[in-house]
Every structure is written in structure tokens, then in C-alpha cells.
Amino acid sequence: MDRSLATLLRSLQASDYPDDSLRLLPTATNLLSRLSNSLNVTLLTSHLMSHDLLYPQPIELSRCRQIFSVFYTAVLRLIEDKQNPAREHLRSHLSVGEWVKAVVHGADDKSPRWRHTLLIGGLLLAFQSRNFEELRPDLRNKLEAALVTASNLALLQKDSEPNCELAVIFVLNHSFPILSHYHRAQVRYDLLLPVLVDATFFSREGLEQAYWIGAVDNDTRQSSGQRFNWPVNSTSFRKVTEIKSRSLISALGSLSRLTACCIDNVQDPMLIVYSTNKIAEFARNLATSWRQNKLSEADPREEAEYLDQETTSKTFPVLLQLLRDTMFATVIILRSVLGRVLCDPNLASDTTAPGVAMQTLHILRDTYFISHRFGLISSSQYTFVNFTSIDILSRYQAQSENFLETIRPVELGRIPLHPLDRLYDLFFLNTAEHFTLIASPRLSQELLFNAAAPYVDPRGDPRLGEIFEAAHSVMLAIVAAPQNAEVAANNMPFYVETLLQSFPRPLTARQFRFAVKSIVRLAAPPSKIAVSMPLMQAVILDLLRERMEHASEDLLPHNPGVSTEGDQPLSEKAVLLLSVIDCLSSLPIPLLEEWLPLAADLLHTMRNSSQKQQCQQRLWETLSDDEMDVDRAASCVAWWTSRGGREHVKFGEQPEEQDYMMSGALQFDNKL
Ligand SMILES: *[C@@H]1O[C@H](CO)[C@@H](O)[C@H](O)[C@H]1NC(C)=O
Ligand SMILES: *[C@@H]1O[C@H](CO)[C@@H](O)[C@H](O)[C@H]1NC(C)=O
Ligand SMILES: *[C@@H]1O[C@H](CO)[C@@H](O)[C@H](O)[C@H]1NC(C)=O
Ligand SMILES: *[C@@H]1O[C@H](CO)[C@@H](O)[C@H](O)[C@H]1NC(C)=O
Ligand SMILES: *[C@@H]1O[C@H](CO)[C@@H](O)[C@H](O)[C@H]1NC(C)=O
């Protein structure tokens, strides 16, 4: 036997503590790459694999990484030696192929399978990193096969040693991108998936069930005045930074893609249900811990007021970033879950699909404080997850109602004080809007209507603009649902009155116009609302006209609570007139004929010429576009061409008998 090998093995045997053994690893690495006798290579490898002191329990990722590095680095050194003539006297005489085979032989029955994954993974990744061409394809193929076999067996035997599955996760995560499709398909995803979910969300090397978020509360103290401080030197902040730097968490993206890939491929569909439930459990803990944390009591818009400099610039952003990464990872996994639900008949069954959809929505709700803050809601993955789960669940009436009941606002009929509760209300309203078609009239009235009611209060705080919009959308969806004719009739007068008072604050011009137009369309004959309240349309138009008499022509201020991007600045008066014009296409012909000249009159009450022109433009569009049906369009054409409409719009009211065919008169395309 090689003398230095004999010395090394003796030292390994003699070491009593893990640290003593670990100190020998650099020597072992060096030696491994330079031994020229394949039996010696195998012998050393076998010792490194079976020497228990190198693998103290419970198994930790950092230790796994050290062993992995031995093989990874040995390969790099072997290659360098071969390529560098100056190292001729040092280098191993074995060919790369012989050397690899000798190392792999050392992964024998004396050591457990999970350790073998570190060895094979180290070899594969090292060759890959150097783009090494001398590794023959058949050998590479064998390594890949061996890695997958060792991983599968290790996962099967994972209960033999606590946390040994971490090694498999570590290696598969790194080597997955370089495995061939054939070998990827051989991975036992059914064994890998639960292990991954557990390691990521629950384990001591992962997110640890998120309980540490609550512990921040203890370290957050009032510093000066009304400001709070969460210091950099607190235990909880150190914990957060430590978690963030863990290897599973610092690359949460790749881990979640691996998890998503497992979901795409598992054979037992119940594992998908299991994983979704586990993530839902995690999300619930996350939400509870966040509430226990004082930092959740500051509305994100007011954080600068309530948190001090150190907190807003140093500690809090770190926590938020970790939460954001967590949220992203969750959505990537859920996207695969819903993808499977859509195309796997077992999962799409009536016994499974609504449950998975409901759990997904619970996860979105529990993490809404993160996604809302970061605007992740508009990302395509989030939209897919959200939309698909609403779509699936809303096919099941009982389960949908049950879900809405479980996420109902804490205090129905009141705007809660805690910003987190208001956020949940926003989630509730945004979600409930999509269930109005199947919710029973009773639920619509008692739960949905009452949940929305406090947020349509026209005296409300305009900073809650986003929730106001959501509440109005729910109201409109309730009255629009065919089964709700009675609910609609009961609430319409209240709603119309509130709506008109809600503009220009708290509603934006866009939302106001949308709501008025929707209501007038719903009140059009032959709807049930028109039967019970035949004057509704005329009343609304009259109210708008009355409002215009006193309305200001100053431009509306920007509302900080909602995004008004893309909206043109307009005055209150102009918006009221535009609302009248929006309604024309839903009026029955006699009312339309009455309102065309009235709209033209109102146009000439506008003093600001640029706004007047915008309204005029909108009127032409309404008359000439496809918005009107054929009969209404005919009526508009008649008014425009032979009853003075054109001149009325252009020049104001004209005496009836004048000659209308003035030169330069405006045209619009007649679609008849
Ligand atoms: C709260 O913080 C103090 C020190 O700031 C510490 O001694 C105590 O253990 C903490 N309590 C909890 C429950 O974390
Ligand atoms: C953190 O630092 C401040 C001073 O900067 C000190 O007063 C406090 O005791 C320190 N807290 C801990 C937990 O070390
Ligand atoms: C997983 O693999 C990727 C590369 O594919 C790497 O960037 C990341 O750090 C790995 N994660 C862990 C936990 O090892
Ligand atoms: C989910 O999607 C629906 C429909 O696109 C949307 O109205 C709702 O606001 C979304 N929910 C959340 C929480 O983003
Ligand atoms: C008229 O309205 C436009 C916006 O459409 C605005 O920019 C302008 O300042 C207004 N003019 C007056 C005199 O108020």
C-alpha cells in the first residue's frame, strides 16, 4: 500500500471526534486524485464513505457539502494534473476512466446509499463544470444511472438515519439540470416530493414552519415617540439572516422548481393533495406568526411613520425579502399543482378538485400580505394559480359557500382596525366577486352584501380606495347575478344613492363610470329590475344631470389609495357627463331619443374647451361605434342627420327650422 495512504487511514482510525476526521479531508482529497493504483483509490473511497465520524448525526447539509467537495475537488485536480506537463511526476497513472471506476467501486455495501449520492454527484458535477470531454459517454451514462439508483434507494431507506434525505436533496438539486431526460425520468418522484416539501418548509435546514416570524415581536420595542425599533443585534434578526443564508433557502428558486418538477411527475395523485395540505399548513403558521409580530400592525403606507430608521432600512427589508422568496417558491409549486389538477382525471374528480382548489386559495389568502405588498398578484404565475383555483372551486356550490364562510370578515359590517384584517377583507371581496353567480341569494345578502357594505360608505377613508373598488365590484356582481333579482331590488336604491355620493371620493372616475354604466345596463328592460323599478334608468340619468349643474370643472386630484395609471385627468363635471354618455347604449329607444338632445345640451355647459372636446369625442364614438344595437343606431342616425343632432352637438341648441346642411359639418360613419 502507498505509504501516505497508510498514514492517512491510520489517522482516520485514530481520530475520536468529527472535527479531527474532517481536518483530514484536504489530505484525503489530494491523495485520492493522485493515487496510481486503482485498488488504493477504491480503498480510500470506501473508508471515506464508511467512516461514521465524518457523518455525525443528525445529518447536516454543511457536512454533506464537505464530503461532496472531496470528490468534486479530486476530479478537478485529476484533470488539472493531466493537462499540466509540470505535474507529470505527481499525477496519477490511471486513465480518467479507470480512476472513476475505482472511485465508484468504493461506494460499496459498507456504507449507506445516501452517502453514495454525494460521491457520484461530486464526480458528475465536476466533469460537467470543466466540460471534460475525455469522460466517455458510456461512463457518464453509467454515472447518471448510478446517481439515480443511489438516490432512489436512499429515499426508500430514509428512515434509517435522521435527515439523511438532505444529502439526496442537495445532490439532486445540483445535478438535476445536467441529467439526461432518460435518467430524470427514472427518479422516484413519489419518494422525493414529500421529502422536499418537508425539508423546504418545515425542517431545521429550511423555513422551520415560519414560527420565527412571531419571535420578532419580542425584540421590537418602542424607541422614540410613536416609532418602533427592531434592532440589527437582536436574536430574532440574527435568526432571520441565518435562515436566509441556509443553502436550501438562499436558492429557494431552484428548489421550488425541483419540487414543481416532482409534482408534474408523481404517480400517486394523493401525494399532490398531501403536499398542498402541508404547504397550506405552513402558510397558516406563517399568517399566524406574522400577526403575532408587531410589524404587521403598521399599514405598509405608514411604515415610515411608525418604524424607525434602523428598522425600515436594515432589518425589516431583510425579513420582507425572505418572505417574498417564500411566496414565489410557493406559487411556483402551486402552479404545478393546478396544472396537474387540470389534466389528471384522478385529481379533477369531484372528490378531490374542490379541496385542492380551496387549499390553494387558503394559501393565497394566508400569504396575501406578502403578494399584495410586492405586487406579485399581477405576475402570470400568480394569476394562473388564483384564476384556476377560483374557476375550479366555483363549479361546486356547497364547497364554494363553505369556503366563503370560512374566510368571512372578522366583524361583518365594520371596517376593522388592524391593517391585516383589512387586507383579508380585500382578499375576501376580490375573491367573492367571482362566486356571485353560484352563491345562493341568502349568502349573497347575508355574507357578501354585508361584507361589502362598510366599504361602499361614501364618507370612507380615501386611502382605502382599493378596497372601495373591490366592494363596489362585489355589489355590482351581486345585483347582476340572475338568481338575485330580489336581493337586487331590495338593495338597488341604497346602492345607487351610495354610488352617487361616492364620487369623486372615494371612488375614482374609472370605477364610478364603470359602476354607473353597469347599473343602468342592469336596469334596462326586460330585466327583472326594470320590471320592479321601471323608472330606475331615468332616475339615475336625472341625478347625474342635477349633479352636473353644481359640479366643479377643476381637475380631480390624484387618489393615493388606487392606481390611476393611464387615466386622463378630468374634472368631476366631465366625468358625470361621460357617465351619462356611457349609459346611452342601454336606454330603450324613447328614453334614448329624449336623452340625445339632453346630452348635447349638457355638452355645451362645459366651459373648459379641452374637456368639452373629450366628451364630444366620446359622444361621437358612442353614436358611431358598435356599442349600439341596430334599432338604437338607426334612431341615433335619424337624430344626427335629420333632426339637428349634428349641429346641436357642434354648435349648441339650434332653432328647429334652420337649414342643417352647413358646410364642414362633422360626419360619422353610418353603419346601417
Ligand atoms: C425575549 O427577549 C429577551 C431579550 O431581549 C430574551 O431574554 C427572551 O428569552 C425573549 N423571549 C422569547 C419568548 O423569545
Ligand atoms: C444592541 O445594541 C444596543 C446598543 O447599540 C445595546 O444597548 C443592546 O443591549 C444590544 N442588544 C443586544 C441584545 O445585544
Ligand atoms: C440547487 O441547485 C442550484 C443550481 O442548479 C444552485 O444554484 C443552488 O444553490 C442549489 N441549492 C441547494 C440548496 O444546494
Ligand atoms: C384573483 O383573480 C381574480 C380574477 O382575475 C381577481 O379579480 C382577483 O382580484 C384575484 N385575487 C387576488 C387575491 O389577487
Ligand atoms: C382644461 O382641462 C385640461 C385637461 O383636460 C387642463 O389641462 C386645463 O388646465 C384645463 N383648463 C382650465 C382653464 O382649467
Beta bridge partners, 571, equal 555
* CA neighbor of 152 nearest in space, from 109, 183, 198: 183
Q: Is the pLDDT of residue 336 over 90?
A: yes
Beta bridge partners, 228, equal 222, 307
Q: Tell me the pLDDT tens digit for each residue of 127-143.
A: 888 776 667 888 999 99
Ligand nearest to the CA of 196: 3
- pTM given for the model: 0.87
Pocket of ligand 3 (CB under 6 A): 170, 173-174, 177, 247-248, 251, 254-255
Cell readout for 331 is 406559487
Q: What's residue 565's pLDDT?
A: 58
Tell me how long the chain is.
672
Å from CA of 278 to ligand 3 middle: 23
* Residue to mutate, 235, 240, 289, 292, ligand 1, most ligand atoms under 8 Å from C-beta: 235
Ligand nearest to the CA of 166: 3
Nearest CA residue ID for atom 10, ligand 1: 218
Position 437: which residue type?
A: L
* CA neighbor of 409 nearest in space, from 448, 459, 357: 448
Mean pLDDT for the stretch of residues 49-60 = 90
66 within domain boundaries: yes
- What does the mean pLDDT of the chain come to? 90
Mean pLDDT for the stretch of residues 254-272 = 95
3-state helix, strand, coil in the chain (%, to 5): 70, 0, 25
Nearest CA residue ID for atom 6, ligand 2: 233
Nearest CA residue ID for atom 13, ligand 4: 427
Mean pLDDT for the stretch of residues 461-476 = 87
Å from CA of 231 to ligand 2 middle: 8
Å from CA of 300 to ligand 2 middle: 27
109 within domain boundaries: yes
DSSP for 99-159, please give it.
HHHHHHHTS-TTS-HHHHHHHHHHHHHHHHHTT-S-S-HHHHHHHHHHHHHHHHHHHHTGG
Q: Tell me the pLDDT tens digit for each residue of 646-666.
A: 888 888 776 554 444 443 444
Count the Cβ atoms, other than its own, within 10 Å of residue 589.
Answer: 12
Q: Is the pLDDT of residue 444 over 90?
A: yes
Nearest CA residue ID for atom 2, ligand 1: 218
Q: Tell me the pLDDT tens digit for each residue of 81-122.
A: 888 888 878 888 888 899 999 999 999 999 999 999 999 999
Quote the CA–CA distance of 314 and 303 in Å, as a whole number. 14
Q: What's residue 12's pLDDT?
A: 86
Quote the CA–CA distance of 519 and 97 in Å, as a whole number. 78
Nearest CA residue ID for atom 8, ligand 3: 251
Cis peptide bond upstream of 345, omega within 30: no
Task: Kindly give the number of the ligand 2 atom that is closest to the alpha carbon of 234.
Answer: 13
Nearest CA residue ID for atom 5, ligand 5: 611
Q: Is the pLDDT of residue 43 over 90?
A: yes
Count the Cβ atoms, other than its own, within 10 Å of residue 264.
Answer: 14
239 within domain boundaries: no
Q: Percent of the chain beyond pLDDT 70?
A: 95
Q: Percent of the chain beyond pLDDT 90?
A: 68
Q: Which helix (H) or strand (E) holds 591?
A: helix 589-603
Cell readout for 638 is 335619424
218-222, 368-372, 464-468: the lowest-pLDDT one: 464-468
24-33, 132-141, 146-155, 654-663: the lowest-pLDDT one: 654-663
* Residue to mutate, 216, 221, 229, 233, ligand 2, most ligand atoms under 8 Å from C-beta: 233
Å from CA of 502 to ligand 4 middle: 23
Task: Kindly give the number of the ligand 5 atom that is closest to the alpha carbon of 611.
Answer: 5
Q: Is 571 helix (H, G, I), strand (E, B) or coil?
A: strand
Q: How many CA atoms lie within 13 A of 263 on its CB side?
A: 28
32: which residues sit within 8 A by CB, 6+ positions away? 41, 44, 45, 48, 70, 71, 74, 103
Mean pLDDT for the stretch of residues 448-473 = 87
Nearest CA residue ID for atom 8, ligand 1: 218
Ligand nearest to the CA of 574: 5
139 within domain boundaries: yes
Quote the CA–CA distance of 72 and 125 in Å, as a whole number. 7
| Number of domains, the chain | 1
Mean pLDDT for the stretch of residues 574-595 = 95
Å from CA of 493 to ligand 4 middle: 28
Task: Kindly give the number of the ligand 2 atom that is closest to the alpha carbon of 233.
Answer: 1
Ligand nearest to the CA of 569: 5
Q: Tell me the pLDDT tens digit for each residue of 200-233.
A: 999 999 999 999 999 999 999 998 888 999 999 9
* CA neighbor of 287 nearest in space, from 385, 423, 479: 423
22 within domain boundaries: yes
67-76, 260-269, 635-644: the lowest-pLDDT one: 635-644
Å from CA of 232 to ligand 2 middle: 9
Q: Is the pLDDT of residue 490 over 90?
A: no
Nearest CA residue ID for atom 5, ligand 3: 174
Å from CA of 228 to ligand 1 middle: 17
42-51, 280-289, 549-558: the lowest-pLDDT one: 549-558
Å from CA of 183 to ligand 4 middle: 39
35 within domain boundaries: yes
388 within domain boundaries: no
Å from CA of 308 to ligand 2 middle: 16
Q: What's residue 485's pLDDT?
A: 87
Nearest CA residue ID for atom 9, ligand 4: 430
C-beta separation of 554 from 504 below 8 A: no
* Residue to mutate, 195, 254, 257, ligand 3, most ligand atoms under 8 Å from C-beta: 254
Quote the CA–CA distance of 668 and 647 in Å, as a whole number. 13
Q: What's residue 128's pLDDT?
A: 87
pLDDT band at 186 (very low <50, low <70, confident <90, very high): very high
Mean pLDDT for the stretch of residues 579-598 = 94
Nearest CA residue ID for atom 10, ligand 5: 608
Å from CA of 250 to ligand 3 middle: 8
Ligand nearest to the CA of 436: 4
Å from CA of 218 to ligand 1 middle: 6
Å from CA of 347 to ligand 1 middle: 46
Q: What's residue 671's pLDDT?
A: 41
Ligand nearest to the CA of 367: 4
Task: Kindly give the number of the ligand 5 atom that is closest to the alpha carbon of 608.
Answer: 1
Task: Kindly give the number of the ligand 3 atom that is closest to the alpha carbon of 247.
Answer: 13
Pocket of ligand 1 (CB under 6 A): 215, 218-219
Å from CA of 178 to ligand 3 middle: 12
Pocket of ligand 5 (CB under 6 A): 555, 569, 608, 610-611
Mean pLDDT for the stretch of residues 524-531 = 88
Nearest CA residue ID for atom 4, ligand 2: 233
47-56, 329-338, 623-632: the lowest-pLDDT one: 623-632
Buried (b) or exposed (e) across 98-116, using 16+ Cβ within 10 A? ebbbbbbebbeeebbbbbb
Quote the CA–CA distance of 120 and 144 in Å, as a whole number. 8
Pocket of ligand 4 (CB under 6 A): 364, 368, 377, 386-387, 427, 430-431, 434
pLDDT band at 558 (very low <50, low <70, confident <90, very high): confident
Mean pLDDT for the stretch of residues 535-553 = 94
- Domain range for 127 is 3-187
pLDDT band at 57 (very low <50, low <70, confident <90, very high): confident
Nearest CA residue ID for atom 5, ligand 4: 387
Mean pLDDT for the stretch of residues 29-49 = 92
Task: Kindly give the number of the ligand 1 atom that is closest to the alpha carbon of 215.
Answer: 14
Q: Which helix (H) or strand (E) holds 222?
A: strand 221-222
Å from CA of 252 to ligand 1 middle: 29
Nearest CA residue ID for atom 14, ligand 3: 170
Q: Is 394 helix (H, G, I), strand (E, B) or coil?
A: coil
Q: What's residue 564's pLDDT?
A: 56
Q: Is 307 helix (H, G, I), strand (E, B) or coil?
A: strand
166 within domain boundaries: yes
Nearest CA residue ID for atom 1, ligand 5: 608
Mean pLDDT for the stretch of residues 544-567 = 79
Nearest CA residue ID for atom 13, ligand 2: 234
